């Protein structure tokens, strides 16, 4: 192994010895072999160490914290032990497709990318997801989208807030997907810059540490960004997933009002909204980088989406009375014009459906508006074969990408 491999793959873990070997094996089985693996153990109390030591490979390093750390400090701890030119992350219950690192290395070579990211197909586990496909992938084009971020700081911030419907999508910056901690590789000098300016790579303990980091890294530390619209990172969805548990009490804890004081914005936030994590992370990133936000945030759609979420959960049998009462009380605290706008939307189901369609299905078309393409007849929604997550990961190779891309791009 070279002294400075191209990739350092950090696998943060805690008490997941039964899942961890699949993650490790998915890295060892890569078609591109210039890497090191840092298994960063956040003070596990199970047999995590034994699970790692079963792999007899000098590229694997095991490090363990001296005590339990919050998630942001745990991820930062792992990066402190890297020596690679690029740092990539892998959740301990997920898996890389076999050509993950090869695809990233190619993007770096061809586009001089500071950051590379890819799509995240999802692997659904029983018992709570029997009605879902075992393996589901979003539509993808099998294409590399490149973005030059220099001089586009305002557009990047606008894009981040548009993801939460607080702004319109900018014309000049239209990535198909964003780099999060799990699905991306970052030039190591980026983390050195974060340490220098913020005192830590991830200074905030947030449920959406990756959204916070994305906003700062793309706007402050990235020249060239490349998004591979390919399903290369297989994300497990199960009871052990941090933010995808079917437990409504866990969801209440995660999606409650923000933890931090957000100044002029704090009175807008509702007790329960799926957008709370995202918006809080973005606003804190703005504050921590002393950014002057050059756009007005519109909270009307935030209220409309939250109302629909509460109604949906109620229809699924959950008691959302407390959250609904809080919704109306918080809305009453806004000015009359704002209240009228929200009421005009939530009282009109047809308009809400129209807004939903416009912001989801058709958004992908808008983002690809400059490309000419023709739809294939077959549409990859999922693969029903009863395979394990590592088998699905090995299945995603160049042939799979060619056969299942739903959009054929013509240059």
pLDDT surpassing 80 at residue 237 = yes
Selection from 11, 14, 53, 120 nearest residue 393 by Cα = 120
Together in a domain, 50 and 152: yes
Instruction: Characterize the bridge pairing of strands 95-96 and 233-237.
Output: antiparallel
Q: Can you tell me the mean pLDDT for 282-305? A: 93
Q: Is residue 345 part of a domain?
A: yes
What is residue 133's predicted lDDT score, i.e. its pLDDT? 66
Same domain, 59 and 136: yes
Residue 362's pLDDT band (cuts 50, 70, 90):
very low
Q: How many domains does the chain contain in total?
A: 2
pLDDT of res. 385: 72
Q: Is residue 92 part of a domain?
A: yes
Is residue 13 assigned to a domain? yes
pLDDT > 60? residue 242: no
The reply to whether 322 and 388 lie within a common domain is no
Q: Are residues 218 and 281 in the same domain?
A: no
Question: Rg of the chain's alpha carbons, rounded to an integer?
Answer: 21
Beta strands in 134-268 (DSSP E): 135-136, 144-148, 184-187, 224-231, 233-237
Residues 38, 132, single domain; the answer is: yes
Of the candidate ranges 90-94, 310-314, 383-387, 389-393, the one whose mean pLDDT is the lowest: 383-387
Comparing C-alpha atoms, which of 208, 266, 231 is closest to residue 142? 231
Q: Is the pLDDT of residue 403 over 90?
A: no
The answer to whether 112 touches 123, Cβ cutoff 8 Å, is: no
Do residue 95 and residue 226 come from a single domain? yes
Whether residue 311 has pLDDT greater than 50: yes
Q: Give the pLDDT mean for 255-277.
A: 94
pTM: 0.87
**Would you say residue 280 has pLDDT above 80?**
yes
| Domain CATH for 136 | 3.90.550.10
Binned at pLDDT 50, 70 and 90, residue 126 comes out as: low
Among 223-227, 244-248, 292-296, the range with the most confident prediction by mean pLDDT is: 223-227
Regarding whether 94 and 195 lie in a shared domain, the answer is: yes
Q: Residue 397 domain-assigned?
A: yes
Residues 188 and 319 in one domain: no
Query: E strand or H helix at 197, and its extent?
Result: helix 188-198
- Domain annotation covers residue 354: yes
Indicate whether 124 and 218 sit together in one domain.
yes
- Orientation angle between helical segments 336-346 and 349-359, nearest 10 degrees: 90
The pLDDT value recorded for residue 367 is: 38
Helix count and strand count (H, E) for the chain: 16, 15
- Residue-wise pLDDT for 370-395, tens only, equals 333 333 334 445 666 778 899 999 99
pLDDT reading at 400 higher than 70: yes
Q: How confident is the model at residue 138 (pLDDT cuts 50, 70, 90)?
A: confident
Domain that holds residue 296: 265-364
In a domain, residue 252? The reply is no
β pairing state of 407-410 and 372-375: antiparallel
For 15-53, how does the pLDDT look when each residue is reduced to its tens digit (9 = 90+)? 999 999 999 999 999 999 999 999 999 999 999 999 999
H/E stretch holding 111: helix 100-111
For residues 22 and 391, give the distance between their C-alpha atoms in angstroms, rounded to a whole number.
Answer: 10
In a domain, 373, yes or no: no
CB–CB of 77/65 below 8 Å? yes
Asked if pLDDT for residue 176 goes beyond 90, the answer is: no
Structural domain includes residue 260: no
Residues 232, 281: one domain? no
Residues 96 and 219 in one domain: yes
Task: Tell whether 349 and 394 lie within a shared domain.
Answer: no
């Amino acid at each position: 192994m070279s002294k400075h491999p191209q990739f350092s793959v950090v696998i943060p873990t805690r008490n997941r010895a039964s899942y961890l070997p699949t993650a490790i094996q998915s890295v060892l089985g890569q078609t591109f072999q210039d890497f090191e693996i840092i298994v960063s153990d956040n003070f596990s109390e199970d047999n995590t160490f034994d699970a790692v030591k079963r792999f007899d490979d000098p590229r694997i390093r095991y490090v363990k914290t001296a005590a339990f750390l919050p998630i942001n400090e745990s991820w930062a701890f792992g990066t402190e032990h890297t020596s690679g030119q690029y740092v990539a992350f892998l959740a301990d219950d997920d898996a890389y497709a076999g050509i993950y690192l090869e695809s990233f290395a190619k993007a770096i070579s061809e586009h001089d990318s500071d950051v590379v990211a890819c799509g995240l197909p999802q692997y659904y586990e029983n018992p709570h997801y029997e009605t879902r496909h075992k393996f589901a992938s979003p539509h993808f084009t099998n294409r590399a989208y490149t973005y030059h971020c220099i001089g586009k700081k305002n557009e990047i911030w606008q894009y981040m807030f548009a993801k939460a419907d607080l702004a319109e999508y900018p014309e000049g910056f239209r990535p198909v997907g964003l780099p999060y901690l799990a699905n991306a590789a970052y030039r190591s000098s980026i983390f050195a810059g974060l340490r220098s300016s913020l005192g830590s790579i991830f200074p905030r303990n947030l449920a959406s540490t990756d959204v916070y980091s994305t906003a700062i890294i793309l706007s402050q530390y990235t020249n060239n960004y490349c998004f591979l619209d390919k399903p290369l990172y297989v994300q497990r969805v199960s009871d052990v997933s941090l933010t995808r548990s079917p437990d409504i009490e866990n969801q209440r804890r995660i999606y409650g009002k923000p933890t931090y004081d957000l100044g002029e914005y704090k009175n807008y936030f509702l007790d329960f909204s799926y957008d709370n994590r995202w918006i809080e992370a973005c606003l804190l990133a703005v504050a921590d980088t002393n950014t002057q936000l050059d756009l007005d945030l519109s909270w009307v759609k935030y209220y409309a989406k939250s109302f629909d979420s509460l109604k949906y959960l109620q229809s699924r049998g959950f008691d959302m009375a407390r959250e609904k009462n809080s919704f109306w009380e918080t809305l009453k605290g806004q000015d009359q014009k704002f209240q009228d706008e929200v009421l005009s939307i939530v009282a009109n189901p047809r308009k809400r459906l129209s807004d939903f369609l416009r912001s989801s299905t058709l958004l992908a078309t808008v983002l690809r508006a400059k490309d000419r393409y023709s739809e294939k007849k077959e549409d990859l929604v999922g693969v029903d074969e009863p395979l394990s997550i590592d088998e699905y990961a090995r299945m995603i190779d160049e042939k799979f990408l060619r056969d299942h891309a739903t959009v054929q791009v013509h240059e």
